[in-house]
Amino acid sequence: MKPVRVALTGASGHGLWHRREIDRLRRLGRVELVGLCDVRPIESYPDAPAPADLPAFNCHLALLQAVRPDVMIVCTPPHTHLEMAGDALAAGADVLLEKPPVMNLAQHAELTHAVTESGRALQVGFQALGSAALAELVEAVSAGRLGDITGIAAVASWQRSDAYYGRSPWAGRRLLDGRAVLDGALANPLAHALMQCLAVAAAAAGKPVQPGVVEVELYRTRPIEVDDTACLRATMDPGPSILAAVTLCGEEKIEGEIIVSGTAGTAVLEYPTDRLRLPGEDALREVPGRVSLLENLLDHRADPAGVPLIVPLARTTPFTTLLEAIGEVPSPADVDPTHVTTVGESPERINVITGVNAALREAGRRLALLSELGVPWAMPPVVTRYGKRPANNGEN
């Protein structure tokens, strides 16, 4: 079979991960890398090669016109996703679009229309949804092994340094050039935690779910425009409520736990490491295996009816609803500096909120907002209500 012609826009930073995956599939004879695009000079690495004769561009439109790829991977800042994905679809390419796909529901509808009009496929880069550990958890929930699901929580405690917030012009920004970026903890590095919760909620409901009432608390310890600590609770229609309590100013690391509570037991998925504990098990165990979203897209291209996309755009509608609710918060609340310790020297300097890990774990255990737990620096949430929408069948 002739290799699929693949191009990548956003070839630096996280784009190196995509380049390594492209190279793996190239060595298997499945793809041909036909072009790279980035606003920065494109370098070659042993595990992410850029041959000297490979076409390189600093404009995605020039790339699309020159090389006409079969598949375009878009790994650029979030505020550019709608335009670049739309241009790639219009040029006849299928698209692998990094998360978050777009910033709000209006953009989601616009991109959905572009997918439909083009007749092409679009996969969203929530790679953790290809996890075998998540698949086993979803199967256990669907089979009733946990009984009736009473709540789903995500708890994560990470650290990010000065260098992280200096990595790009859009880092830590809410808006850039008048366009929404929302480079906060929940919208970007810990977006997978929200998406994993939504996947489990859909399994518990046995159908697609949509947020109803969304309560959001955003906090910051730095002079940034977005959150580095956040708590979000959403009632789902249908299904159990979900709660996410996360920080980038953590004490000891909590990798990222999805805690699923039911009338017959509790399950925990540590989603970054694909470790899982089901009711009756004493400890987390590794469940190896993740389906590559690019490979899944290639398989779908070859057999659209027989191989569904793992993350079609429609599957991200509830996530985009939550992202829109996050965008409704005018500005994060500043954490009282007396509760913050600065560790190290720039550019590796980090902020640590005293007692934050215990607060996040209690929030997850009780499905409670930080403000409801009496956390001294917490503020009341911003509440957004969404009306009931028709269930999307997930085929777009």
pLDDT at 193 over 70: yes
Task: Specify whether 67 is located in the same domain as 119.
Answer: yes
Domain boundary among 127, 161, 196: 127
How confident is the model at residue 387, as a pLDDT?
Answer: 73
The answer to whether position 304 is within a domain reads: no
Q: Look at residue 299 and tell me if it is in a domain.
A: no
pLDDT value at 392 more than 60: no
Rounded mean pLDDT of 304-333? 97
181 burial type by CB count under 10 A (0-12 exposed, 13-18 middle, 19+ buried): buried
Which of 101, 127, 153 is the last residue before a domain boundary?
127
Q: Where residue 72 sits, what CATH number does that domain have?
A: 3.40.50.720
Q: Are residues 68 and 148 in the same domain?
A: no
Would residue 234 count as lying in a domain?
yes
The closest alpha carbon to 88, from 123, 41, 44, 132, belongs to 123
Residues 150 and 87 in one domain: no
Q: What is the pTM of this model?
A: 0.95
| Whole-angstrom distance, CA of residue 139 vs CA of residue 134 | 8
For residue 48, the model assigns a pLDDT of 93
* Same domain, yes or no: 70 and 150: no
Q: What is the mean pLDDT of residues 180-188?
A: 95
Mean pLDDT confidence for 361-373: 98
Q: Are residues 163 and 113 in the same domain?
A: no
Q: Both 110 and 148 in a single domain?
A: no
pLDDT at site 77? 94
Indicate whether 294 belongs to any domain.
Answer: no
Q: Tell me, what's the pLDDT at 388?
A: 57
Does the pLDDT at position 249 exceed 90?
yes
More confident residue, 285 or 387: 285
Mark whether 113 and 180 lie in a shared domain: no
Regarding whether 120 and 200 lie in a shared domain, the answer is no
| 243 pLDDT more than 70 | yes
pLDDT of residue 239: 83
Sorting pLDDT into bands at 50, 70 and 90, what band is 394? very low
274: domain CATH number is 3.30.360.10
Q: Name the one residue in this structure whose structure tokens are 């810990």.
A: 190
How do residues 260-282 score in pLDDT, each as one tens digit?
Answer: 999 999 999 999 999 999 999 99
pLDDT digits (tens, 9 = 90+) for 72-115: 999 999 999 999 999 999 999 999 999 999 999 999 999 999 99
Whether the per-residue pLDDT at 128 is higher than 50: the answer is: yes
372: pLDDT strictly greater than 60: yes
131-154, pLDDT tens digit by residue?
999 999 999 999 999 999 999 999
Asked which of 102, 127, 152 is the last residue of a domain, the reply is 127
pLDDT computed for residue 1 by the predictor: 82
Residue 293 maps to a domain: no
Residues 238, 378: one domain?
Answer: yes
Is residue 38 situated within a structural domain? yes
Strands (E) across the chain are located at 4-9, 31-37, 56-57, 71-74, 94-97, 122-124, 149-159, 175-176, 179-180, 210-220, 229-237, 242-247, 249-262, 265-270, 275-277, 285-286, 333-334, 340-343, 350-353, 382-385
pLDDT of residue 376: 97
Helix (H, G, I), strand (E, B) or coil at 152: strand
Q: Is residue 360, in this structure, part of any structural domain at all?
A: yes
Domain that holds residue 96: 4-127
Q: Are residues 189 and 333 in the same domain?
A: yes
113 lies in the same domain as 169: no
Is pLDDT at 393 greater than 60 in this prediction?
no
Q: What is the mean pLDDT of residues 192-197?
A: 98
Residue 396 lies in a domain: no
The beta strand positions in 330-374, using DSSP E, are: 333-334, 340-343, 350-353
Are 276 and 329 in the same domain?
A: yes
The domain total for the chain is 2
> Over the chain, what is the mean pLDDT?
96
pLDDT of 351: 98
